[in-house]
Structure 1
Amino acid sequence: MMKKIILLMIFVCIMNFGGCAFLNNMHYISADNILSDVENEKPEDKVQDPLEIKISAVGDIMVHGPQLRAQYNQNKEEYNFKNNFQFVKPYISQADIALCNLETTFGGVNKGYSSFPKFNTPDSLGEAIKDAGFDAVITANNHTIDSGGKGVFRTIKELKKLGLDVVGTKENEACENFIVKKVKNVKFGIIAYTYETPKWGNHKTLNSLIVPKEVESCINTFNYANVDEDLKKMKKEIQRMREQGVEVIIFYLHWGNEYHREPNKYQKKIAQYLTDVGVDIIFGSHPHVLQPIEFMENENRKKKTLVVYSMGNFLSNQRYEILKNRYTEDGIILNITLLKDFEKNLITIKEVAYVPTWVHKYFKNGRKVYEIIPLNDALDNPTIYHLLNKDSLWRAKNSKNNTTILIESETNEKIYQTPPISNAENNKITGNM
């Protein structure tokens, strides 16, 4: 009671000394209004700021005989491939999702490490891929069964041990043919298929090797001779992904003709079909050279799909000296920025850019060294990137020139090169998804 009397006396004093004028000049909200606003506000009324997600993708990672010998440390009696990726690691590791095509197998040391025509590579290549910043590895290609059926399953096991997602092959028939990966609260569906070679009787073949029955249902494959039927199977997988709430679908395809710098009719047909049934991004591998990039419209012209027909070799020993083809030394890192607008519930492609890469092979202390170099950075600082002679410097410049002409002159919308990693300002391309 006494407290109420004191408060009343204070209020009267304030009013007598012009307190009302003071209060009337203030901007205030009553406690009743604040509580009312909070109580009436619904969670769905809060609009989240647009969200960016960065995707990076590369082409074929292969290990030929000279690479095996170059990466072996005789003193430690071990293989280490980490130096191959040291200069591109800053680009790969900054992505929210980074993907690559593993065109070899991890069949184990007891099987004997080998190169073409049957690849079996030390498990430490997986460690280098993980260290470089990759998140998902495509394992469906024409070399998937090079180590036999057991090699298929062992490759999956070794990659998963490292915390890498595996796409294109699976551990058993009951598993899905795709993976669903949540990134920044956005669901991605990632799937991969490889072409088959002609059947041997009732048996499927890859690279003319009979696919063992125990793994036949564990490898995503399609056959050019029955492509229409196989496309229907792909459509069902896409529908299943959408049913699971997938918002963005990425499709890797091992397709096309080796060493051809233009897509063939099957690539065009498959790309158009997948565009029409709702795939958002298509990444291609297998030709071992770069092929153009295209924004393909669906049948209603209401949506565009980004189609990268071939990203070339990311790491290999396919060189001019061997194949008389300089283009097999070239690759790219595709950098895609997606933008999710929560207010419109819409995801679009905000930016598409690329980093021209080149496999630099040179000698140091009598040993071969292989390094994937980002060409814009390397040509700005040749010494740092070990471009120490005229031949290497010329080949690096030539590679960049060849890549630039192919990508930028044949793409139906403007695409820019990602500036060197030290330059934070990125060029932009806008497309619809």
Structure 2
Amino acid sequence: MLRDRSIVKLPNTFEKNCSLTVSAAGDLIQADGIQSSKDILFERIGDILFDVDISTANYESPVTEQRLADETIGGGRPLIMCCSPAQFLTLTAHKGKCFTALNTANNHIFDLGIRGLETTQRLLGQNGTVAIGTPRRPEEYGRGKILTKGGIKVGFISATFGLNGHEPPASETYRVHVAKLMSKHAVTDLELLRKQIEDCKQQGCDFIIASIHWGYEFEFFPRHRQVEAARALVEQGVDLILGHHPHVIQPIEYYRTKRDPNRIAVIAYSLGSLTWGWYTAPHLVLSMILKVNLSKGLMAGARRTYIENIMPVPVFRAISYEGGERLMRIEKLHDHLNRSLPRLKQMKNYVDLVLGT
């Protein structure tokens, strides 16, 4: 697995015409009382997260306008994740800026059933945010979501490994893109993702991003079958894979494709959890934001869109108390490396281990 990002660059004979910037983060998961951190949560990372053409992440806390369920881990049952409208706004917007697109195909999106999914979709729509992976109508199932920015048409595809047993009604199985990505008893099923790839190609996409909810929680490296599946998707036509679910960061692979030897696809196996509870363990508060610059132009007379450069930015959740309230801020790790706190050194060690820096 190649983890040297210096190979990510435009081919020497590439004629650049236009470009755009994408930022990608991991899981957005509620924390009790996080609404007090409105417009504070992202203030230290707003430049890399929102001052771009397309910003995206994995949104994993369906919204309810009723009493919140308590998040509990253990007891033999999957935990329920949900958040209030005020918490939703804290997680998805910053001083009037919102995410461009959020993946909603994940194992918790159906924790509150159809009602929770539809409430979440409605609020995302009010923000002007595109929901990825949760079709509203049967004819949308297996299709990509297309965004055009700066003259570049970007297709988003997605799937989750499961729904924690909260299955849609038989008449509405189209509601979430679910595939057997991690089954112990079956081979990895990529057919739904391949179907979306072909749809993006038919719609003339210049670049395809796959947002995939998979992997094993709290493991720092992907399993061999994930690596094989990711490379197969890249050869099928995906240019950038954004992985989430493990809650910790995993390696970024820079993969030269066989379908186009000039193309370096980027595979981020897990970006970690940008927000999740009030945990303080270094490996749980650490996550990654990817800043990716795309360029569209001509290569030997053929129109191509390549990744010009990529910057992984390790970040972490910091907790403070102001005016008697507990607040959360996301901080850039490199802004704190001159401090000698043991937990910061541990985070840096995790980054070095996982990213190979």
CA contact (8 A) 2:146 2:205 kept: yes
Deviation for aligned residue 1:187: 0.6
Matched, 1:118 2:80: yes
Closer, same or farther: CA 71–396 of 1 in aligned 2, 3 Å: farther
Higher relative contact order (CA 8 A, sep 6+): 2
Deviation for aligned residue 1:84: 1.3
Greater shift, 236-245 or 334-343, is seen at 334-343
Could you state the TM-score of these two structures normalised by the residue count of structure 1? 0.70
For 2:249, the equivalent position in structure 1 comes to 290
Letter in 2 for 1:115: E
Q: Take 1:191 and 1:240, find their aligned partners in 2: how far apart are those partners?
A: 9
Letter in 1 for 2:289: I
Query: Aligned to 2:24, which of 57, 60, 67?
Result: 57
For 2:354, the equivalent position in structure 1 comes to 406
CA contact (8 A) 2:240 2:265 kept: yes
For 1:143, the equivalent position in structure 2 comes to 108
Deviation for aligned residue 1:111: 4.8
Letter in 1 for 2:230: A
Matched, 1:71 2:30: no
Q: Report matched runs for 1:224-303 at 5 Å.
A: 224-225=182-183, 230-299=189-258, 302=261, 303=263
Letter in 1 for 2:131: V
Q: Take 2:121 and 2:227, find their aligned partners in 1: how far apart are those partners?
A: 30
Deviation for aligned residue 1:241: 0.9
Deviation for aligned residue 1:406: 1.8
Tell me the secondary structure at the aligned position of residue 339 of structure 1.
strand
Q: Take 2:188 and 2:321, find their aligned partners in 1: how far apart are those partners?
A: 50
Q: Take 2:112 and 2:103, find their aligned partners in 1: how far apart are those partners?
A: 16
Q: Take 2:172 and 2:286, find their aligned partners in 1: how far apart are those partners?
A: 33
Closer, same or farther: CA 404–133 of 1 in aligned 2, 3 Å: farther
Tell me the secondary structure at the aligned position of residue 124 of structure 1.
helix
For 1:366, the equivalent position in structure 2 comes to 324
Q: Which runs of 5+ in 2 are unaligned?
A: 1-14, 73-78
Q: Report matched runs for 1:185-200 at 5 Å.
A: 185-196=151-162
C-alpha RMSD of the superposition:
2.5
Letter in 2 for 1:315: T
Q: Report matched runs for 1:37-56 at 5 Å.
A: 50-56=17-23
CA contact (8 A) 1:275 1:304 kept: no
Closer, same or farther: CA 313–229 of 1 in aligned 2, 3 Å: closer
For 2:3, the equivalent position in structure 1 comes to none
**CA deviation string 1:58-86 (max 9, x = no partner):** 001111xxx323535xxxxxxx6332111
For 2:93, the equivalent position in structure 1 comes to 130
Larger radius of gyration, structure 1 or 2?
Answer: 1
Q: Which runs of 5+ in 1 are unaligned?
A: 1-47, 73-79, 197-205, 383-389, 410-433
Q: Take 1:82 and 1:216, find their aligned partners in 2: how far apart are those partners?
A: 37
Closer, same or farther: CA 266–111 of 1 in aligned 2, 3 Å: farther
How many equivalent residue pairs? 329
CA contact (8 A) 2:58 2:244 kept: yes
Deviation for aligned residue 1:208: 3.0
**CA deviation string 1:254-275 (max 9, x = no partner):** 0010000000133112202101
Q: Report matched runs for 1:161-176 at 5 Å.
A: 161-176=126-141
Q: Take 1:284 and 1:181, find their aligned partners in 2: how far apart are those partners?
A: 20
For 1:221, the equivalent position in structure 2 comes to 178
Q: Take 1:178 and 1:114, find their aligned partners in 2: how far apart are those partners?
A: 34
Q: Take 1:229 and 1:89, find their aligned partners in 2: how far apart are those partners?
A: 37
Q: Take 2:201 and 2:115, find their aligned partners in 1: how far apart are those partners?
A: 32
Identity value in percent: 25
